[in-house]
Structure 1
Amino acid sequence: MFRKKPIALALSTVLVLTLSLVGCGGKPAATGGDKEVKPIIVKFAHVVTPDTPKGQAALKFKELAEQKTNGKVIVEVYPSSQLYGDKEELEAAQSGNVQIIAPSVTKLVGLNPKFQYTDLPFLFPNNEAVYKFFASDQMKGLMNSLDKYNLQGLAVWPNGFKQFTNNKRPLVSPEDFKGLKFRTQAGKVLEAQFKSLGAGSATIAFGETYAALQQGTVDGQENTFNNIDTQKYQETQKYLTVTNHGRLDYMIIVNKSFWSGLEPDIRKALDDSMAEATKYAVEQAELLDKKSMDNLKNSGKMQFTELTPAQLGVFQETMKPVYAQFESVLSKELIDAAIKAGQK
């Protein structure tokens, strides 16, 4: 009887020691001064679906960032306005509720009106001119112009050229636009563009556009092939005119306080990840743009109108006054840099 007590005491001691070595989640607690390091959570919010160029590039950034930091950073991607819509995402990034957003360049006009360059009709003749402008000093200046909002531009991801759609009639000449109303993003250049065509416009959030088209709040909209396809606008729009008249591209923006507060090695890994994801974004934009154009053509739900050079020239001439109207806002230097990027 008396010999059993030491044994019980010994077992109790072993149990206490074992428990003391176990941390949260059943893992051994750190010893020798080591501390369990929690991963840095980076929330990346955007408004389009995962199967778009932006959606795919965001997932690529997540993959690269987690790989290059050996899991020290976890990127949580929230597509399709799951966290914030058009109107809220900029404020969320400023306050640090999300760390990365990818708004279309046009949505930044309230922060710097020069971002309206992307809406000037027929400013860029092809993708190569757009990419050259992305690398220009003028674009770098725009990316660095958001300091007072606690924001920093990191990269620009392309989507593609915009096309017109509507549910009333084929759009072959500027006269065909008269009396129609189009959904637009916010921006005075876009208002002036449609006014030059004799059409009305209404600013409607991207996530609300399908319903607006379906309910007849607006007759048409302008967007890339991929956005038209992935948002299923062909279900509400009978006619598409290929014009390549404007651009829809995205600026990748981070909360500046968060980004500058990262350890140098972590920030370098994330910068490198962003550079690789940007190359991937370019590839995806061109690939998915072509794929979506084919999807829309083959759907049998839309009538495609492809303009002749002469017909396109009429549109370019009709919209030319928009340049003079906004030169003082955008600056001649910026417009000239964009035009120069398109020259051989």
Structure 2
Amino acid sequence: MKNLKKLFLGVLTLALAFSLAACNSSKETEGSGKAEGGDKESASGIQEMTIKISHVVAENTPKHHGALKMKEVIEKESGGKIKVQVYPNSQLFGDKDEYQNLVANNVQFIIPDMSKMVGNDPGFNIPAMPFLFESDDAANAFWDGEKGKEIFKRLEKDGVLGLSMWPNGAKHMTNDKKAIKTPEDLDGMKIRTQGGQLLEALYGQLGAGSASIPFGELYTALQQGTVDGQENTFSNIESKKFDEVQKYMTIMGHTRVDYALLTNTKFWDEMNEETKAIVQKGVDEGTKVARESAEQLNEDALKIIKERGQTKVNELSEAEIEAFKKALQPVYDEWKEKIGADIVSDAESK
């Protein structure tokens, strides 16, 4: 009987030992499947994760087209291991809080208007410099070059990585008061801008007041007369139907809307090389699509605005544009020094 009890206890001990070993093995397996930062890593080395891309404009815009291309490429190249969610129209975050949420890694990519970044670095005033770039290609060349990359690099102190510039294009004015043909025509008007001291100085030089209103709230502000007018690209004006609540549009191309594709450095650094290569390919392809679509969308948008016929369209002549350049020269000279003469000179050379 004693031998039988000893045998039974021996078997029970072995069973418990195997059970504990299996449990520990299971836990180790679970732990080894985690990539740094807590994302699961597949057998092939591609980390499983969900990436969020947030922006504030409508779907039929260069920014959204580029974001959708990023989603397509990343999901395809990762075999579905990486899911990409795109949130347009301020659905996730708006102008006021998207940068803070990127810093907190609550979203992995944002594509803000560079005018929203001027508080982070004065170099982001470049698109607001009056009549600086003659084309999208010139603006692209600047941001792809040494000085543009230098400005992006300065965001790393915030835990943010600047990856690329996505253009929207030259801006034009709309208002509900009168046709704008001379600098004096703006005297006494209140114009919505994206914000920043340079744009305030620009309109102040022309005798106009300025107000910074979130893009998602702009239609209502125009409709209610909170401001008299605004400046934007053709594609933004058309997609948000600002021509429904503005009687006049002036084609002038005095400043630009350019976007910065930004990511969180912690998110970026915690990707392994295989995963990062896939995401980088998405960024590259998204940038290409955003840039290719900007010019075409603006051309199409102007046609649609004219066809709708809800706003009177006036295009400034070369002589009229020269009058605006002359009026704004003091602002240009002052801000060339504030931004950095070397940076502005590089932009002028493109």
One of 243, 249, 253 as aligned partner of 1:244: 253
CA–CA separation in structure 1 for the residues paired with 2:166 and 2:52: 18
One of 224, 230, 251 as aligned partner of 1:215: 224
* One-letter code aligned to 1:65: I
* One-letter code aligned to 1:312: I
- Please state how far the C-alpha of 1:110 moved relative to its aligned partner: 1.2
Q: Does 2:196 align with 1:187?
A: yes
Q: Does 2:142 align with 1:136?
A: no
- Map of 1:222-237 to 2, 5 A cutoff? 222-237=231-246
TM-score of the two chains, using structure 2 as the length reference: 0.86
- Map of 1:140-289 to 2, 5 A cutoff? 140-289=149-298
Q: Indicate the larger mover: 120-129 or 56-65.
A: 120-129
* One-letter code aligned to 2:178: R
- Please state how far the C-alpha of 1:46 moved relative to its aligned partner: 0.6
Structure 2 spans left out of the alignment, 5+ residues: 1-25, 34-39
User: Which residue is 2:339 aligned to?
Assistant: 330
* One-letter code aligned to 1:49: A
Preserved CA contact (<8 Å) 2:144 2:164 = no
SS at match of 1:172: coil
Residues 203-230 of structure 1, C-alpha deviations (whole Å, 9 max, x = no match)? 1111111111011010000000000001
- Please state how far the C-alpha of 1:168 moved relative to its aligned partner: 0.4
Structure 1 vs Structure 2 CA RMSD: 1.6
CA–CA separation in structure 1 for the residues paired with 2:175 and 2:105: 39
- Map of 1:60-71 to 2, 5 A cutoff? 60-71=69-80
CA–CA separation in structure 2 for the residues paired with 1:156 and 1:312: 27
User: Which residue is 1:119 aligned to?
Assistant: 128
SS at match of 2:345: helix
Q: Does 2:325 align with 1:316?
A: yes
One of 94, 116, 119 as aligned partner of 1:107: 116
CA–CA separation in structure 2 for the residues paired with 1:215 and 1:263: 51
SS at match of 1:122: coil
CA–CA separation in structure 1 for the residues paired with 2:162 and 2:141: 17
One of 104, 110, 125 as aligned partner of 1:95: 104
CA–CA separation in structure 1 for the residues paired with 2:123 and 2:65: 28
* One-letter code aligned to 2:269: S
SS at match of 1:123: coil
* One-letter code aligned to 1:191: E
CA–CA separation in structure 2 for the residues paired with 1:51 and 1:126: 21
CA–CA separation in structure 1 for the residues paired with 2:59 and 2:73: 17
Preserved CA contact (<8 Å) 2:140 2:165 = no
- Please state how far the C-alpha of 1:234 moved relative to its aligned partner: 0.6
Q: Indicate the larger mover: 117-126 or 32-41.
A: 32-41
Residues 318-339 of structure 1, C-alpha deviations (whole Å, 9 max, x = no match)? 1111122212320001100010
SS at match of 1:49: coil
CA–CA separation in structure 2 for the residues paired with 1:134 and 1:44: 21
CA–CA separation in structure 1 for the residues paired with 2:171 and 2:60: 18
- Please state how far the C-alpha of 1:186 moved relative to its aligned partner: 1.6
- Please state how far the C-alpha of 1:39 moved relative to its aligned partner: 2.6
CA–CA separation in structure 2 for the residues paired with 1:326 and 1:312: 20
User: Structure 1 vs Structure 2: percent identity of aligned residues?
Assistant: 40
User: Which residue is 1:296 aligned to?
Assistant: 305
Preserved CA contact (<8 Å) 2:233 2:298 = yes
One of 51, 56, 59 as aligned partner of 2:68: 59
User: Which residue is 2:83 aligned to?
Assistant: 74
Structure 1 spans left out of the alignment, 5+ residues: 1-28
CA–CA separation in structure 2 for the residues paired with 1:154 and 1:204: 26
- Please state how far the C-alpha of 1:45 moved relative to its aligned partner: 0.6
CA–CA separation in structure 2 for the residues paired with 1:254 and 1:85: 16
SS at match of 1:244: coil
